Structure 1
Amino acid sequence: MQQRTLGHGGPQVGAVGLGCMSFAGVYGGTDLAESHRTLAAALELGVTHLDTALIYGNGLSEEVIGAFIKDHPGRFSIATKGGIRTQPTRSFDNSEAYLRECLEGSLRRLGVDHVDLYYIHRRDQTIPIEEVTGTLSRFVEEGKIGGIGYSEIAPASLERAAAVHPVRVVQSEYSLWTRLPELGMLQACARLGTAFVAFSPVGRGIFGETPLDPSAFSDKDFRKNNPRFVEPNYSANEAFVARLRDYARSRGWSVAALAIAWTLAKWEHVISIPGTRSPEHLATDASAADIALTAEDLAAIDAILPPGFAHGDRYSDAQALGPERYC
């Protein structure tokens, strides 16, 4: 597996990591055995970076990982996230007391005393980011975390945070149909020596081998009310993606591997974290690290999926609460 550096002083990890939200059943039912088979496959494939969070099943994803790494210590670089309250309603809390509570709980569920990376999952706009970064820097000093991360922030916020303490990683959605990070965040990360972790590089499943059936999504499925998967947007998007499938097959690639390879092709500081609960899908995803896209490939992909082609916003109004907007 191609190796990339996980930001300031961070470990070398596989260019393709694993997003672990699926272990909590967000995109359909799963069980502990299947999740552990996926983690075992990750070790065989060189997928060494795991990304989880407190709110993935209210700690379930962390517990699944913790049960596995108990018998496989030191094999993965682990990132987790905190700063979101879910009770009585969803809200953001970046206070030191709550972040410490979140972190201690995550460490307990994972069965470790240290994680390589700890993210603010969503910013609490009532607290200056400089203050929050100071809190995280104390966690670094205490040896509880290796580095600081922020999820879904704006480039200006990264600049402010980095003035207090190096920010190891910024995480945002980045894929063939979500290219906002190209309008400043990827450049800011490169300038500041911060790694960029791309989540949902397979477009929440749209860039799969076969078309999805949104009518079959369960009520708990994140995509159920997501604008890009609701008609007439879904049919318009699927028509574009069908042409990408034809191109991928003409080159002997899976469309998922091609989509992931695209996120890695132009920026050396990007690490891509497709999410799956299936060992077979993970093998396909990991093969993206072996695809070397040429300038001609990139031009052909842009012709098939022009920037901005997606019909519908990436989030509904309810889902859009939290990510910082820019540009």
Structure 2
Amino acid sequence: MQKRVLGSSGIEVSAVGYGAMSFSDFYGPTSEAASHAILDLMRDEGVNHLDTSNVYGNGRSEQWIGSYLAKNPGARADFVIATKAGISRDAEGARKLDNDPAHLEGELDKSLKRMGVDHVDLFYVHRREAGRPIEEVAETLERLRRSGKTRAVGFSEIAPSSLRRAAAVTQIDAVQSEYSLATRSPELGLVQACAELGAALVAFSPVGRSILTDDPIRPEQIETVPFLKVNPRFAPGNHQANLALTDGLRALAAEMGEPTAALANAWLLSRGAHILPIPGTRSIQHFRECLRGAALTLTEADLARIEGILPVGWAHGDRYDVVQWIGPERYC
């Protein structure tokens, strides 16, 4: 597995990592044993970048990482662990964003306890609280870094302008954003700002929530996944159009003798040395297909063919609905 550096932190990570939202039931039921099998595969394949959050399964993702580390003494050294905080609930149970210093540190402490570790390697603000100056939040992250509870800091789903403001206060090592052949908006400033400021761009949903794979989710399956059931990109009509368009990518991958997911991840890696895809899956086989992307070197001709099949703006439907857009910053 090729290695890349996490921003300006000096921390080496695998070019392709793993997004442990799939250790929750977000996309369908899973188990502790299945999640531990993914962690076994990561170690076997030299994949060390492990991304989770306090809200994934209400802490279950972190708990299962913790139970794995407890069962495998010495395994902590095989992982660069990233987690997040900043999404909370009010007294009525409604979702809210909280970047208060006490809240962020308190949630990080809970995450450390769930995983049984004394620090994480990267701590993100999961969603920015719009009413709080980002400079204040950056100061909080720097204090947490100095405390030793995290080695590096970052933000998830922020605009390039917000990144610049935060980076004026402290080094921001990573920005996490949805980025794939299906979601190209980061190319309108975020990819460039991260490169300029020495931050990694950690790309979640690199295979477009299955659309960019050999086994895309089918209409009858969408009804069983609450997030996708209301997501515009998977709505009737839009979903069928997206399947038809991505059939061309599947055909190209087959011609090249590679899994479509490998092609999607290889395309992301070609966008810059600071791009780090973190596919999430409950399937060992699918994860292997994603990891194959790190072994591919796409030629200019390959990239041109991919662009010809899926040009910028090809996807039908927005990536989020109105509720899902609460928190992520729009900038274009």
Indicate the TM-score class for this superposition, using the shorter chain for normalisation.
over 0.9
Q: 2:254 aligns with which of 224, 246, 249?
A: 249
Give the SS at the match of 2:82: strand
Which sits farther off after the overlay, 150-159 or 202-211?
Answer: 202-211
Name the counterpart of 1:228: 233
Name the counterpart of 1:54: 54
Name the counterpart of 1:313: 318
Give the SS at the match of 1:91: strand
Name the counterpart of 2:208: 203
The Cα shift of 1:277 comes to: 1.8
What is the CA–CA distance in structure 1 between the aligned matches of 2:297 and 2:162, rounded to whole Å? 33
Aligned CA RMSD, in angstroms, stands at 1.0
The Cα shift of 1:222 comes to: 1.9
What is the CA–CA distance in structure 2 between the aligned matches of 1:290 and 1:139, rounded to whole Å? 36
Q: 2:86 aligns with which of 83, 86, 108?
A: 83
Map Cα deviations across residues 286-316 of structure 1 (whole Å, 9 max, x no partner). Answer: 1110010111111101110110000000001
Kindly report which structure 2 residues correspond to 1:219-298, keeping only aligned pairs within 5 A, or say none.
219-298=224-303
Identity among equivalent pairs (%): 52
Larger relative CO (CA 8 A, sep 6+): 1 or 2?
Answer: 1
Name the counterpart of 2:148: 143
The Cα shift of 1:6 comes to: 0.8
Structure 2 portions without partners, runs of 5+: none
Map Cα deviations across residues 111-138 of structure 1 (whole Å, 9 max, x no partner). Answer: 1110010000000011100000101111
Q: 1:175 aligns with which of 162, 166, 180?
A: 180
Structure 1 portions without partners, runs of 5+: none
- Normalising by the residue count of structure 1, what TM-score does the alignment of the two structures yield? 0.98
What is the CA–CA distance in structure 2 between the aligned matches of 1:219 and 1:305, rounded to whole Å? 28
8 Å contact from structure 1 (residues 10, 146) kept in 2: no
Q: 1:166 aligns with which of 155, 167, 171?
A: 171
1:18 aligns with 2:18: yes
Give the SS at the match of 1:108: helix
- Normalising by the residue count of structure 2, what TM-score does the alignment of the two structures yield? 0.96
Name the counterpart of 2:117: 112
What is the CA–CA distance in structure 1 between the aligned matches of 2:174 and 2:221, rounded to whole Å? 35
Map Cα deviations across residues 243-277 of structure 1 (whole Å, 9 max, x no partner). Answer: 11001100111001101111101201111100012
Name the counterpart of 1:67: 67
1:97 aligns with 2:97: no
Counterpart amino acid of residue 260 in structure 2: V
Give the SS at the match of 2:151: coil
Change (3 A) 1:196 1:237: same
Map Cα deviations across residues 204-236 of structure 1 (whole Å, 9 max, x no partner). Answer: 011121342122235444211111111110011
8 Å contact from structure 2 (residues 178, 204) kept in 1: yes
Counterpart amino acid of residue 80 in structure 1: T
Name the counterpart of 2:134: 129
What is the CA–CA distance in structure 2 between the aligned matches of 1:321 and 1:150, rounded to whole Å? 15
8 Å contact from structure 1 (residues 214, 224) kept in 2: no
The Cα shift of 1:23 comes to: 0.5
8 Å contact from structure 2 (residues 222, 234) kept in 1: no
The Cα shift of 1:97 comes to: 1.1
8 Å contact from structure 1 (residues 28, 221) kept in 2: no
Name the counterpart of 1:31: 31
Give the SS at the match of 1:73: helix
Give the SS at the match of 1:116: strand
The Cα shift of 1:279 comes to: 1.8
Map Cα deviations across residues 89-115 of structure 1 (whole Å, 9 max, x no partner). Answer: 101000011111111111111111100
What is the CA–CA distance in structure 1 between the aligned matches of 2:85 and 2:219, rounded to whole Å? 30
What is the CA–CA distance in structure 2 between the aligned matches of 1:10 and 1:240, rounded to whole Å? 40
Name the counterpart of 2:40: 40
Q: 1:193 aligns with which of 198, 206, 229?
A: 198
What is the CA–CA distance in structure 1 between the aligned matches of 2:9 and 2:183, rounded to whole Å? 29
What is the CA–CA distance in structure 1 between the aligned matches of 2:68 and 2:89, rounded to whole Å? 26
